[in-house]
A and B are shown apart, each in its own frame.
Chain A
Amino acid sequence: MAEQTPKPEQLLQIDYRPPAKDWRDPTVEFRKGVFCYSAAPKNLEYLGLPNPRKWQPYDEDWKLPPNWKQIILEGMRDRLQKFRSFRLFMDICVRCGACADKCHFYIGSGDPKNMPVLRAELLRSVYRRYFTLAGRLFPALAGARDLTLQVLKEWFYYFYQCTECRRCSVFCPYGIDTAEVSMIGRELLTLVGCNINWVLEPVANSYRTGNHLGIQPHGFKDSIEFAVDELAEITGVRVEAPINKKGAEVLLLVPSADYFGTPHYFTLLGTLMVLHEIGLDYTFSAFASEGGNFGLFTSHEMIKRINAKIYEEAKRLKVKWILGAECGHMWRVLHQYMDTMNGPADFLEEPVSPITGTRFENAKSTRTVHICEFTADLIHHRKLALDASRNDHWTVTFHDSCNPSRAMGLIEEPRYILKNVCNHFHEMPESTIREQTFCCGSGSGLGTDENFEMRMRGGFPRANAVKYVRDRFGVNLLACICAIDKATLPALLEYWVPGVEVAGVHELVGNALIMKGEKERGTDLRGEALTPKEELVHA
């Protein structure tokens, strides 16, 4: 993969002038590096999804069911009746083009079908042909197209070239949300068995074991214990990390990468330290061992199926409320879908911080609090002893992850935390942060190696803003609150902006946190030596 990828200086020789051929020509080329492999049949079988088989996007024959066209059109009809968003977004776009250069994939690829407007037109053209009078009578004039195999392949190509980041929806004068269109597009593709493995394998694993990586209960316990041991070594403090403890006050929900990947792992360490230090009575669940939910990238039905375990475990373990760790798409689900799909959570209590007494009014129905809200509240009430100078080796910037910013509005909490735990903090340019933040380019299940070139293209706008603050302020660390960011931004930054590392916000909290009874901290959570204070003074 990587060796075939063009060098950074070659990748963006982009001519943004559209090609001569009309966009209604659906031909696409599945070139190595810009698409994801198909889902393995075993994953579809396990989940009971239609049409499990061996196939690849570059195959001529996609082995579709003979009545695939009818299935798709029925599926569209069904969803037009179930989702006002879908119906409306099919009808009202005026093609003003304000969304065009808002999409990271368009900026990085120059492919006009990556303009959000055209991505949606791929579906709209079929909608018009079969569901509107104008499209039936005057297909050519109304921009209507027949649903053909080529069109289906084109859908697959472009709906898996959208990270559902919602940046375009901020700029659209009608609030048309391409994430919504891509989600429905992927649902339709799922009806005929056209999925990608990078999404469906985690979904199947989550469904079976509770987490994306398929880690079973004993493995889960081992990982958590390993983290506890390592913390004891770094800090001299042995924290408790209970699993499946009934009657605990809080259920802690983390993305599984936190206990199985780096740099996520250091975020987990920081989280464990904070919860120990304040003495929170909490528990992990070995079944709800994943907050992430790739069902969001499959279908609305799958979101609900995967998410059911969370309230179920909260109920079984008799906790009072749920604390959700750093993860982007997990929080879109927890914030915008969980209560509706799996609620009401009337068996839980309205969340109150036992340390500060703060009532989390904004979570009084879902009873699920974001850890940045929780920690920001602790810091605000001066419940944490912090030594920000322990992060002095980092010059930090903050990357807003798509879902927390545009589907939650969680914007200031992480910034407040960062400004309290590190001394050197610089924002990236306004057009690239907060609600205008750029996606990592690998979200919504596209962060796989075979898709490397497209990830580098899509991630370019984010990386370029990082480069700006690296060159100007010497930024060497990008902090974020999303597990997919932490998994994929290191490769992106290495490609575009070498010398900038990636960390979770709670890793930096952990570094700065002065724990009762801790030994003198020789290293940060990564095990890198801290510069002793005296030397800094002399330097």
Chain B
Amino acid sequence: MNALSAFVVVLALAALAFVGGQVVILRPLFGVILPWAAILTLLLGLTHRVILWARAPVPFRIPTTSGQQKSLPWIKAGWLESPSSTPGVIARMALEVGLFRSLFRNTKAELREGPRLVFGEDKALWLAALLFHWSLLVIFLRHLRSFMEPVPAFVKALAALDGFFQVGAPVLYVTDIIIVLAVGYLLLRRLRNPQVRYISLFFDYFALFLLLGVVITGIFMRYVTRIDTVAVKQLALGLVTFAPTVPKEVGSLLFVHLFLLSALAACFPFSKLMHMGGIFLSPTRTLANTNRMKRHVNPWNSPVKVHTYEEWEEEFRDKITAAGLPLERE
């Protein structure tokens, strides 16, 4: 149900942009105003949310230790999985952010006759997630060539690398294929795995369908309708230089592409997509396991009511005496 409604909504949004792209007076709306509004929402919302997080203190040092602590010198410490130094934490975080280290651990537990619990490797989610995110990053960077003049060398190099196989004209980008497959897998998994389907909310599907919409329209424009890249660049440069122009050569499909992307960007700060920022702040990963070496200070370490030794001695005075234990106050 969530999946279907998300699909319908994305389809409706796409239709809206498609039609809007053909109505002359609406073209500035879909080509300029909505993208601007979306980016503004993204930037403000993202900043707001990160400030909220950053302002909340980390009262306790609570790393999840996934390896041996640093203790006795002759015991090999897990410098990466249970880091006791800043380089260790940085390396742990780099693996987390760049290679999804924790997700790589994923196993599958299966209950068989007996009862017998069996564990198997399960790297598909990790692989799909990793391929998706890296492709997305490469595609995002490739798009800079539309927004920058002259095109930076690294963007050109990246595009060349991405088109390494030199198949067809225009050259086929590997990331274009990978991202469709990866997002497709993530969507299918969400739909077909009964547990994941059970926990999925409208937005989980909505984000995936928006992404798919953006990707598919992009691919379609590049390989099928052969979009006018000069016109696109005019539009894109206009957006980033605050000198907007909507060339008449820009087709409706680009408006769909742009509008779905705008929707995704506008939702970003209000949704789970914020995991992009959150991963850098997660206290179970960003803190070193130096708990007993270095004191961690809690800014709100508020006073509490305690039961003191004096009160204890007073209450049990007779029994302490009878047991022959020393008293502080005779």
Q: Chain A: residues with CB nearer than 8 A to chain B?
A: 9, 12, 14, 16-18, 23, 48, 80-88, 91-98, 100-102, 107, 112, 115, 117-118, 121, 132-134, 140-143, 166, 169-177, 180, 207-210, 216-218, 220-222, 243-244, 246, 286-287, 300-301, 304-305, 308-309, 312-313, 316, 334-337, 339-341, 343-344, 358, 360-366, 368, 373, 376-377, 380, 405-413, 416, 429, 431-432, 435-436, 460-461, 464-465
Q: Give the residues in chain A near B52, CB-CB below 8 Å.
A: 87
Q: Give the residues in chain B near A142, CB-CB below 8 Å.
A: 201-203
CB-defined A-B contacts under 8 Å, sample of 22: A18-B198, A81-B56, A87-B53, A94-B272, A95-B201, A96-B196, A170-B102, A175-B96, A207-B307, A217-B316, A218-B322, A246-B326, A300-B60, A312-B306, A313-B309, A340-B59, A365-B295, A373-B71, A380-B72, A407-B62, A416-B75, A460-B117
* Interchain CB contact (< 8 A) of A85 among B58, B111, B308, B325: B58
Cα distance A409–B284 in the bound complex, in angstroms: 13
Q: Give the residues in chain B near A85, CB-CB below 8 Å.
A: 58, 62, 282-284
Q: Give the residues in chain B near A86, CB-CB below 8 Å.
A: 56
Cα distance A87–B277 in the bound complex, in angstroms: 13
Instruction: Check A91/B117 contact, CB under 8 A, given A82-B300, A344-B295, A380-B74.
Output: no
Q: Give the residues in chain B near A80, CB-CB below 8 Å.
A: 56
Cα distance A309–B311 in the bound complex, in angstroms: 11
Instruction: Check A91/B49 contact, CB under 8 A, given A96-B125, A143-B202.
Output: yes
B interface residues, how many (CB within 8 angstroms): 100
Q: Which residue of A lies closest to B286 (CB)?
A: A175
Do residues B295 and A340 form an inter-chain contact, with CB atoms below 8 A?
Answer: yes
Q: Which residue of B lies closest to A85 (CB)?
A: B283
Do residues B297 and A305 form an inter-chain contact, with CB atoms below 8 A?
Answer: no
Cα distance A128–B9 in the bound complex, in angstroms: 22
Contact residues, B290-322 vs A (CB, 8 A): 291-298, 300-302, 304-309, 312-313, 315-316, 319-320, 322
Q: Which residue of B lies closest to A207 (CB)?
A: B307
Cα distance A18–B293 in the bound complex, in angstroms: 46
Do residues B115 and A180 form an inter-chain contact, with CB atoms below 8 A?
Answer: no
Do residues A143 and B203 form an inter-chain contact, with CB atoms below 8 A?
Answer: yes
Q: Give the residues in chain A near B105, CB-CB below 8 Å.
A: 170-171, 436
Do residues A177 and B111 form an inter-chain contact, with CB atoms below 8 A?
Answer: no
Q: Is the interface of A mostly helix, strand, loop or mixed?
A: helix
Q: Which of B28-36, B76-84, B175-183 contacts A (4 or more CB under 8 A)?
A: B76-84
Do residues B309 and A409 form an inter-chain contact, with CB atoms below 8 A?
Answer: no
Do residues A82 and B57 form an inter-chain contact, with CB atoms below 8 A?
Answer: yes
* Interchain CB contact (< 8 A) of B274 among A91, A140, A176, A305: A91
* Interchain CB contact (< 8 A) of B281 among A84, A360, A366: A84
* Interchain CB contact (< 8 A) of A121 among B199, B279, B305: B199
Q: Give the residues in chain B near A368, CB-CB below 8 Å.
A: 292
* Interchain CB contact (< 8 A) of A94 among B72, B275, B298, B301: B275
Cα distance A132–B271 in the bound complex, in angstroms: 9
- Least Cβ distance of B170 to chain A in Å? 33
Cα distance A313–B309 in the bound complex, in angstroms: 8
Cα distance A133–B325 in the bound complex, in angstroms: 62
Q: B129 interface residue, CB < 8 Å from A?
A: yes
Cα distance A362–B84 in the bound complex, in angstroms: 9
Do residues B199 and A340 form an inter-chain contact, with CB atoms below 8 A?
Answer: no
Q: B194 interface residue, CB < 8 Å from A?
A: yes
* Interchain CB contact (< 8 A) of B283 among A84, A101, A408: A84
Contact code string B115-130 (vs A, CB < 8 Å = 1, else 0): 1110100000100010
Contact residues, B132-174 vs A (CB, 8 A): none
Do residues B194 and A413 form an inter-chain contact, with CB atoms below 8 A?
Answer: no
Do residues B111 and A14 form an inter-chain contact, with CB atoms below 8 A?
Answer: yes
Do residues B312 and A210 form an inter-chain contact, with CB atoms below 8 A?
Answer: yes
- Least Cβ distance of A53 to chain B in Å? 21
Q: Please name 9 further chain A to chain B contacts, defined as beta carbons within 8 Å, in addition to the given A173-B102, A177-B62, A217-B316, sorted by A numbering.
A: A83-B58, A95-B272, A170-B102, A207-B307, A336-B61, A363-B292, A407-B62, A409-B69, A435-B81
What are the nearest 7 A-B pairs in CB distance?
A: A409-B69, A92-B278, A409-B65, A175-B284, A18-B198, A218-B323, A409-B82
Of the candidates A80, A107, A171, the one having the most CB atoms from chain B within 10 angstroms of its own CB is A171
Instruction: Check A170/B66 contact, CB under 8 A, given A91-B278, A312-B309.
Output: yes
Do residues B56 and A83 form an inter-chain contact, with CB atoms below 8 A?
Answer: yes
Do residues A112 and B199 form an inter-chain contact, with CB atoms below 8 A?
Answer: yes
Q: B252 interface residue, CB < 8 Å from A?
A: no
Q: Give the residues in chain B near A300, CB-CB below 8 Å.
A: 59-60
Do residues A84 and B195 form an inter-chain contact, with CB atoms below 8 A?
Answer: no
- Least Cβ distance of B144 to chain A in Å? 26
Cα distance A91–B277 in the bound complex, in angstroms: 11
* Interchain CB contact (< 8 A) of B65 among A96, A143, A343, A406: A406
Q: Which residue of B lies closest to A301 (CB)?
A: B304
Instruction: Check A407/B279 contact, CB under 8 A, given A84-B58, A221-B323.
Output: no
Q: Give the residues in chain B near A377, CB-CB below 8 Å.
A: 72
Do residues A134 and B270 form an inter-chain contact, with CB atoms below 8 A?
Answer: yes
